[in-house]
Amino acid sequence: MFLKDLKDLPENYGYLNARLRAHFSDFLVKEDYRRLAFRRLEEIEVFLLETRYGKSFRKSLVEQPLSTRRRIEVALADTSADTLNHARKMAMGEPEDLMTVLLARADLHNGRLLLRYYFTGALYEGHPQWHGYGTLPVTFFADLWKSHSITHVIDKCLAFDHQLSRALGRACGQVAKGSSLPASERIFLSGVLTYLDEILDSHRTKDSALVRELLGRSIDIWNMNIWSRVAAGVLPGEKAGELFIEGGYSLSADRLRNSSRPEDLLASTPWETILGRFQGGPAEMVTGRAMREFWKWQIAQRRKDLLGIEVATAFIAHQLLEWQNLNALVVGVDMGLEVDTIIDKLVLTG
């Protein structure tokens, strides 16, 4: 799909962004989702076969017998990972480092899947759909998934000798000690953020500042999720203080501790735009609404600077959001949900 030659040295924002901009037209638009919501699974598969997802479909047909829904899920995951990995391979210098930070959400996703799996102790046939575009290889997570105990997982994490694997090992150690899942996830997230901060510290530019803002907004969303549990009465306020993470973009520790309503928490912050949609709704809705705005903010970066990291930020968000939307659409169609209900579950931009 992509070529990696004729690069400008040492940093190739111009070349990278030109190549990425040429592929924004590959993404589905609102009308595509609306049409697909009326289709059966088999018809959705036929549609996707004629798109860039077709190669993965044909591969899965040859390699293993799968249901229609599972073939779609595998094709979406494989194509998304291939697209993002190819995009990163085109980057050089600062853009390559910043894309590593932007794509670390795969490591977070995979690590949290493992933590939840060993925390619940639930039996799970097969393996989850890993996100295969991060720093740690999918084979690393797949091997941990097959481990016989949390002790073996910890040993393997430490033996892998990477800062991210060690962070996951420490988080698994908390699970083994009986800590709560949020407390264990916080250990992992904090370790990942430390690693990413070190990468960003080597680049003091407006582009690294944007990526640092993205991380700060991600921390805001984590903290909103903890705050919403307190507001809903499912988490004691004194416990929340141990779970909040410092370094958020706009929500201070004082604001998080002292706000009892969404209006108090979000007013006069970049997140206040979501307040109009609550209309007296429960505080638990804060995180979901904020996540929608976060996706839209990332995609809106596309035209902010054609020679900066903004283009890659938007491209990555487009790909991941399309994957999320198509997965949600396929689940809705498979369950026989009404078209309007399916569309309401999607995050449609543009």
pLDDT tens digit sequence for 28-84: 999 999 999 999 999 999 999 999 999 888 776 656 678 899 999 999 999 999 999
For tokens 């705050």, name the residue.
Answer: 227
pLDDT surpasses 60 at 179: yes
Per residue in 277-298, pLDDT (tens digit) is 655 567 778 899 999 999 999 9
Show the DSSP H helices in 232-309 as ranges. 237-243, 253-258, 262-266, 285-299
Coarse DSSP helix, strand, coil percentages of the chain, rounded to the nearest 5 percent: 70, 0, 30
The dihedral built from the CA positions of residue 128, 116, 131 and 331, taken in this order, carries a sign that is: positive
Quote the pLDDT of residue 9. 45
Which tokens belong to 44? 């959705």
> Rounded mean pLDDT of the chain?
92
Residue 275: pLDDT band by 50, 70, 90 thresholds? confident
**Gap between the Cα atoms of 4 and 13, Å rounded:** 13
pLDDT surpasses 70 at 134: yes
**Beta-carbon contacts of residue 46 (< 8 Å; ≥ 6 apart):** none
Helices 163-176 and 105-120: crossing angle in degrees, nearest 10, is: 20
Read off the pLDDT of each residue in 118-135 and give the average, rounded to a whole number.
86
Whole-prediction pTM value? 0.93
The one-letter amino acid at 139: T
pLDDT surpasses 60 at 6: no
Give the domain ranges of the chain.
Answer: 13-344
- For residue 207, the tally of other CB atoms under 10 A from its CB is 22
Which tokens belong to 223? 């903290």
**Gap between the Cα atoms of 247 and 249, Å rounded:** 7
